[in-house]
Amino acid sequence: MKSTEEKKVYMLLKSVIFHYHGLDEQEKQDLERTANELDAHAEYQWALEFVSQDHITSFERARHYLNDIIADYTKEKRIELINMVWQANNLKGYVTEMEATAMLKLAKDWNVQRELIDLVLK
């Protein structure tokens, strides 16, 4: 069972990456499926509101928010989060350059760049 904070992290992370280039229908369905699986409907709404406050700055604002929380997470948990976003992006069959750049920035912030690169090369 994930805490409210963990649910917020999952939903914000996915939301901000998916909104980075504009949310498509498949990504919206994935977000809704994740909210259902995690029982995180309130956290999903919170993430959508976070992004909608200002789409242009949402990624940088989310980065700051997430970095404050994730600094306390174990390396394994940080890798799990990066992997979750990478896998979610691969559902549509490709990852845009903007999405990849966003994930690389987060991986660098979280000191898991090597692990993200290993995931990409698999």
- Three-class SS state of 122: coil
> In the predicted model, is pLDDT for residue 43 greater than 90?
yes
CA distance 118 to 56: 30
- Say what the pLDDT of residue 1 is: 59
- Say what the pLDDT of residue 77 is: 93
Nearest to 66, CA basis, from 120, 2, 15: 15
* Minimum mean pLDDT range among 9-13, 50-54, 95-99, 103-107: 95-99
- Say what the pLDDT of residue 14 is: 92
- Say what the pLDDT of residue 74 is: 94
For the segment 71-102, what is each residue's pLDDT rounded down to a tens digit? 889 999 999 999 988 888 887 788 888 888 88
Average pLDDT of the segment spanning 101-118: 93
* Of 6 and 89, more confident: 6
Report how far apart the first and last C-alpha atoms of the chain are (Å, whole number).
Answer: 29
